[in-house]
């Protein structure tokens, strides 16, 4: 027998109460783990955006195309380092339910604008030469078991061939990785020329432009210049930094996140009060026993530690179980959410933060009862009829 055994015995003497307390904490950390993981996945898009990269989209909204002529015009502007353009292709592989992230791009400039995309030089050359070539992200290639040289048919629910077909054939020329682990490689790109020649509508339009400036300090100036140049034309533009763009894109989701955060915070607070009250009650019920322990010669600091240890243990049991459940939930939802939230993983920082909150919860709820136990006077406790 040791102090831990005493803590355990104290903790489990009312199993139903222990269960309910742990369950409340479990739910709190289940929600906390799931929501923070979701939020961090949403935020990572913003964090990964380059500082000097601008997006030029149609002012109406980003799904409305722009004329290809803008590509040359923007390239010629002062302060612009590199420009590329892209079209959303979408599509699916074999099964309409297996939606893919596919874009038609200008290959050379695309790789210049996105240094995050890392390709073996030989594969890169092969892709640049091959009009029907596809450059596939490692994540996608792994998901479908694709290898270099594979011929893959990609069907579109937006575009069709001149002959009415919906399926395009591609050859995988290269598989790219990200320059950092966080960079999401769950997409693929192919030649704009191939896309252009086979589509029936869309003409010479591009979806959007992406450019890098000579220096982030020029961002504002360049963006202003672009939007001014095309103002009052049939295709007005809206230029923003990639960060701002990603942010705007997820803002709606973000607002929901804020609401969820509010709910979680309130739930947390409620649980704090409930658990704190339960702990205080549990210790008050044991006034007589604590007085006996002190009489036998258990020191006040030692009893303080035992009470605090109990509340910490309860917080950790409920909290870790909840976090584990959140992890399972996230892992289960990962595949389904991969398209929208590629970085849906419960990172070490989230786990560390959650454990920090558990310890905080344990401390806050245990501190007052522990302090009362510390100060408990033997004579008064016995006089109160505690024993």
Partner 1 sequence: MSEEVLFQLKGVSKSFVKGKEEISIFDDLDMTINRGEFLAIMGPSGSGKTTLLNMLGGVDQPTGGEIWFNGERIDRFKESQLTRWRAHNIGFIFQFYNLMPMLNAARNVELPLLLTNLSKAQRRANVETALTLVGLNDRAKHMPSEMSGGQQQRVAIARAIVSDPQLILCDEPTGDLDRKTADEILEMLQLLNQDHGKTIVMVTHDPAAASYAKKTVHLDKGKFVQREVAA
Ligand X SMILES: Nc1ncnc2c1ncn2[C@@H]1O[C@H](COP(=O)(O)OP(=O)(O)OP(=O)(O)O)[C@@H](O)[C@H]1O
| Cα distances (Å, whole numbers) of residue 224 to 83, 203, 220, 227 | 16, 27, 6, 5
- Tell me if 100 sits within 8 A of 156, measured CB to CB: no
Residues 346-385 that bind partner 1 (CB under 8 A): 378-379
| Min separation Cβ 297 and ligand X, Å | 21
57 strand-pairing partners: 238
Nearest CA among 80, 132, 78, 77 for reference residue 107: 132
Q: Is 116 in the site for partner 1 (CB under 8 A)?
A: no
Listed in order, strand segments (DSSP E) in the chain are 53-58, 66-67, 80-88, 102-105, 117-118, 133-137, 151-155, 167-178, 188-191, 205-206, 208-213, 237-241
277 binding partner (options ligand X, partner 1, none; Cβ < 5 to 8 Å by kind): none
Site string for ligand X, 342-381 (x = CB under 6 A): -------------------------------------xx-
Tokens of residue 276, six digits: 């704190």
Shortest Å, Cβ 6 to ligand X: 28
Q: Should residue 9 be labelled a site residue for partner 1 when binding is judged by CB under 8 A?
A: yes
Nearer to ligand X, 196 or 372 (CB): 372
**Residue 13 binds partner 1 (CB under 8 A):** yes
Which of residues 132, 229, 300, 372 is near partner 1 by CB under 8 A?
Answer: 300
**Binding of ligand X by 270 (CB under 6 A):** no
User: Can residue 383 be called a binding residue for ligand X (CB under 6 A)?
Assistant: yes
**Taking the chain, what is the end-to-end CA distance rounded to the nearest angstrom?**
24
Give me the 202-221 binding string for partner 1, x by CB under 8 A, dash otherwise.
Answer: --------------------
| CA 349/CA 328 separation, integer angstroms | 17
Q: Which does 294 bind (CB under 5 to 8 A by kind): partner 1, ligand X, none?
A: partner 1
Q: Is residue 16 at the binding interface for partner 1, with CB under 8 A as the rule?
A: no
Site of tokens 């890169």: 124
* DSSP code at position 235: S
> Residue from 299, 328, 352, 356 that binds partner 1 (CB under 8 A)?
299
Pick from 347, 346, 343: nearest CA to 186: 343
Range in contact with partner 1 (rule: CB under 8 A) among 52-60, 171-179, 285-293, 321-329: 285-293
Residues engaged in binding partner 1 (CB under 8 A)? 1-3, 5-6, 9-10, 12-13, 288-289, 292-300, 378-379, 387
């Amino acid at each position: 027998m040791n102090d831990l055994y005493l803590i355990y015995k104290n903790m489990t003497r009312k199993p139903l109460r222990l269960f309910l307390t742990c369950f409340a904490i479990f739910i709190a950390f289940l929600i906390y783990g799931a929501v923070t993981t979701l939020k961090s996945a949403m935020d990572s898009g913003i964090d990964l955006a380059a500082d000097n990269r601008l997006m030029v989209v149609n002012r109406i909204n980003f799904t409305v195309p722009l004329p290809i002529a803008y590509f040359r015009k923007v390239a010629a502007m002062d302060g612009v380092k590199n420009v590329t353009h892209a079209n959303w292709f979408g599509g699916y592989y074999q099964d309409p339910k297996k939606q893919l992230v596919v874009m038609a791009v200008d290959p050379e400039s695309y790789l210049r604008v996105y240094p995050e995309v890392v390709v073996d030089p030989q594969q890169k050359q092969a892709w640049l030469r091959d009009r029907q070539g596809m450059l596939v992200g490692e994540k996608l290639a792994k998901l479908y078991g694709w290898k270099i040289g594979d011929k893959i048919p990609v069907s579109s629910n937006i575009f069709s061939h001149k002959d009415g077909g919906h399926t395009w054939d591609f050859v995988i020329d290269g598989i790219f990785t990200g320059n950092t682990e966080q960079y999401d490689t769950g997409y693929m790109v192919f030649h704009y020329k191939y896309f252009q020649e086979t589509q029936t509508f869309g003409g010479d339009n591009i979806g959007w432009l992406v450019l890098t400036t000579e220096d982030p300090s020029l961002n504002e100036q360049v963006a202003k210049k672009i939007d001014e140049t095309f103002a009052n034309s049939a295709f007005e533009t809206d230029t923003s930094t990639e960060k701002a763009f990603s942010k705007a894109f997820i803002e709606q989701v973000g607002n929901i996140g804020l609401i969820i955060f509010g709910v979680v915070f309130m739930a947390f607070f409620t649980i704090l009060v409930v658990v704190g009250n339960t702990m205080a009650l549990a210790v008050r019920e044991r006034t007589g026993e604590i007085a006996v322990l002190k009489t036998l010669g258990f020191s006040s600091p030692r009893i303080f530690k035992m009470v605090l240890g109990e509340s910490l243990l309860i917080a950790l049991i409920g909290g870790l179980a909840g976090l584990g459940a959140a992890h399972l939930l996230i892992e289960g939802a990962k595949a389904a959410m991969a398209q929208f939230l590629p970085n849906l993983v419960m990172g070490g920082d989230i786990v560390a933060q959650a454990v920090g909150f558990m310890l905080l919860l344990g401390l806050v709820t245990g501190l007052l009862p522990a302090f009362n136990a510390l100060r408990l006077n033997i004579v008064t406790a016995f006089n109160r009829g505690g024993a």
